[in-house]
């Protein structure tokens, strides 16, 4: 329900933004989002590790009638040690994000923007602070998920998303301009803080334990061996997906950045829908792997990958083709989205990436990360394509972007995938 709502609400927002924001403000809106994605450099994939570590310890514990964890002291101590480590890590990360991320945005918009600071500075600072609070609170939700509260956390996120989008739309309707960008993060921060205060007793209790030295969890020994691979993948993802809008903003202008940002958002939604077939079958991939049922595994993967790619191709064609027809018909709203040629490049890249993403999910179901070198090389090439292509224009940049997954990422991924499909155990 949460994912479905996110897709629908995101589609509605893409329709409403051009109605209530000027073309320049639309450029700032999407560039805000791209610069905020820098928080990946401060979080470094820690939340994903938290879920795994907590799940490992809770597997040896029980939850009593009062909602408290009971079991061997070593597992309770390790959970308490992890909770304290998370609190320190994310407190520092949130403060650094406010200082460095906020300063990066101020510097960027002061030098590259066209609006006066009075139009964006307050909104940017509020948005940065709200996002930092969400960053600080995020490990609490990750620990609750790891402790088996997945459904409750998903319900919280669904409610927050509904209220957040309603507040965003209301702020836009009331002509709040760029201040509306902070609506959803503020709802998220307040909702998460309240929920953890009401529902987080289970983890607060273990966090107050006196942990002996022998039971303490150490970042270098217990976290870093897993985290560095995820961190590199996440950082690579920033350069693959979030560099385009700020570069266009700085070199072409906020209006064109807004047009490209809207197009990228549309195709990200298409990719999310296409991947739903793969994500829904991930547990079955894992079960077949654990049982050694290779024939059933390969047959299932081939079936869902085909459905995912066909759905992505159809939706991408519908988006790009529909936009082109509307542009030919002279619909004024089409001036707020990228040109048909740019949309065609993004559509092709989205279809190619659907194969890459599906194959990556299949290989990671084996609890391995063969895609790390692919991610790093793709990130470097994509960053270079964005940097040099943006010097010429948006279309050359998108053409170069489409070349990278087509001739580098896809062949490399298929080569790795073939090895997994040939496994017998």
Minimum mean pLDDT range among 97-101, 156-160, 369-373: 369-373
Q: What is the pLDDT of residue 302?
A: 94
Q: What is the pLDDT of residues 373-399, one digit of tens each?
A: 998 999 999 999 889 988 888 999 999
Return all residues near 288 (Cβ < 8 A) that are at least 6 apart. Answer: 294, 296, 297, 300
- With a cut of 70, say whether residue 425 has pLDDT above it: no
Spell 38-65 as b/e; 16+ CB within 10 A means b.
Answer: bbbbbbbbbbbbbbebbeebbeebeeee
Query: What's the pLDDT band for 28 if we cut at 50, 70, 90?
Result: very high
Q: What is the mean pLDDT of the chain?
A: 86
- What are 276-293's pLDDT values in tens digits? 888 778 768 877 887 888
pLDDT of residue 54: 72
**Helix (H), strand (E) at residue 210:** none
Tell me the pLDDT tens digit for each residue of 52-89: 677 667 766 666 656 566 666 676 777 777 778 888 88
- Which stretch, 107-121, 193-207, 233-247, has highest mean pLDDT? 107-121
When mean pLDDT is compared across 95-109, 166-180, 272-286, the lowest value belongs to: 272-286
Average pLDDT of the residues in 306-313: 95
What dihedral do alpha carbons 95, 101, 104, 108 form, nearest 10°? -140
Q: Are 372 and 229 in contact (CB under 8 A)?
A: yes
Going by C-alpha positions, the residue among 397, 389, 381 that lies closest to residue 338 is: 397
Predicted confidence at residue 42, as pLDDT, reads 81
Cα separation, 233 vs 236, in Å, equals 5
pLDDT exceeds 80 at position 205: no
Residue 87 pLDDT? 83
256 — pLDDT class (breaks 50, 70, 90): very high
Tell me phi and psi for residue 135, to 5 degrees: -65, -45
Phi, psi (deg, nearest 5) at residue 61: -125, 170
Q: At residue 257, does pLDDT exceed 80?
A: yes
Of the two residues 294 and 286, the one the predictor is more confident about is 294
User: What's the confidence (pLDDT) of residue 372?
Assistant: 87
Integer Cα distance of 134 and 14 in angstroms: 24
Q: What percentage of the chain carries pLDDT values higher than 70?
A: 88
Choice among 188-192, 200-204, 354-358 with the minimum mean pLDDT: 200-204
Nearest to 33 by CA among 123, 111, 119, 122: 123
- Residue 368: predicted pLDDT: 78
Give the residue among 273, 274, 250, 275 at the shortest CA–CA distance from 260: 250
pLDDT reported for residue 369: 78
> 62 has which bridge partners?
70
Question: Quick one: pLDDT at residue 397?
Answer: 93
Q: How many CA atoms lie within 13 Å of 389's alpha carbon, on the beta-carbon side?
A: 22
pLDDT of residue 26: 93
Q: What pTM was computed for the model? A: 0.81
Poorest-confidence range of 15-24, 185-194, 220-229, 359-368? 220-229
In this predicted model, what pLDDT tens digit does every residue of 332-362 receive, in sequence order?
Answer: 878 889 999 999 999 999 999 999 999 998 9
- The tokens of 402 are what? 């489409």
Q: So where are the chain's domains? A: 2-228, 243-420
What SS3 state is found at 149? Answer: coil
How high is the pLDDT of residue 346?
A: 95
Containing 246, the helix (H) or strand (E) segment is helix 244-251
Q: Could you tell me the pLDDT band of residue 165, with boundaries at 50, 70 and 90? A: very high
Asked if residues 285 and 12 have their Cβ atoms less than 8 Å apart, the reply is no
């Amino acid at each position: 329900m949460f994912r479905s709502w996110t897709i629908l609400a995101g589609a509605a927002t893409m329709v409403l933004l051009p109605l209530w924001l000027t073309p320049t403000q639309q450029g700032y809106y999407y560039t805000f989002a791209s610069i905020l994605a820098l928080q990946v450099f401060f979080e470094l994939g820690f939340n994903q590790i938290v879920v795994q570590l907590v799940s490992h310890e809770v597997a040896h514990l029980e939850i009593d009638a009062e909602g408290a964890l009971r079991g061997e002291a070593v597992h309770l101590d390790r959970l308490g040690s992890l909770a304290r480590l998370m609190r320190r890590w994310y407190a520092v990360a949130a403060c650094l994000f406010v200082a460095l991320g906020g300063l990066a945005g101020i510097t960027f918009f002061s030098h590259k923007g066209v609006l006066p600071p009075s139009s964006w500075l307050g909104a940017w600072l509020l948005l940065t602070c709200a996002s930092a609070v969400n960053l600080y609170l995020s490990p609490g939700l990750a620990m609750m998920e790891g402790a088996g509260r997945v459904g409750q956390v998903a319900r919280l996120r669904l409610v927050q998303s509904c209220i957040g989008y309603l507040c965003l739309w209301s702020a836009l309707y009331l002509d709040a301009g760029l201040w509306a960008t902070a609506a959803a993060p503020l709802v998220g921060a307040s909702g998460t803080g309240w929920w953890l205060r009401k529902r987080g007793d289970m983890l607060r209790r273990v966090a107050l334990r006196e942990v002996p030295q022998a039971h303490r969890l150490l970042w270098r020994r217990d976290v870093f061996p897993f985290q560095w691979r995820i961190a590199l993948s996440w950082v690579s993802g920033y350069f693959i997906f979030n560099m385009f809008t700020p570069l266009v903003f700085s070199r072409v202008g906020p209006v064109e950045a807004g047009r490209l940002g809207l197009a990228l958002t549309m195709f990200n939604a298409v990719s999310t829908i296409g991947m739903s077939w793969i994500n829904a079958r991930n547990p079955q991939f894992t079960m077949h792997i654990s049982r050694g049922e290779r024939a059933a595994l390969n047959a299932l993967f081939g079936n869902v990958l085909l459905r995912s790619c066909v759905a992505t191709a159809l939706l991408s064609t519908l988006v790009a083709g529909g936009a082109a027809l509307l542009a030919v018909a002279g619909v004024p709203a089409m001036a707020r989205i990228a040109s048909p040629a740019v949309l065609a490049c993004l559509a092709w890249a989205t279809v190619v990436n659907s194969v890459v993403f599906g194959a990556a999910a299949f290989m990671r179901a084996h609890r391995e990360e063969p895609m790390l070198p692919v991610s790093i090389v793709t990130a470097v090439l994509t960053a270079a394509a964005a940097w040099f292509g943006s010097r010429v224009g948006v279309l050359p940049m998108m053409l170069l972007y489409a070349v990278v997954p087509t001739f580098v990422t896809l062949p490399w991924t298929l080569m790795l995938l073939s090895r997994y499909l040939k496994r017998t155990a």
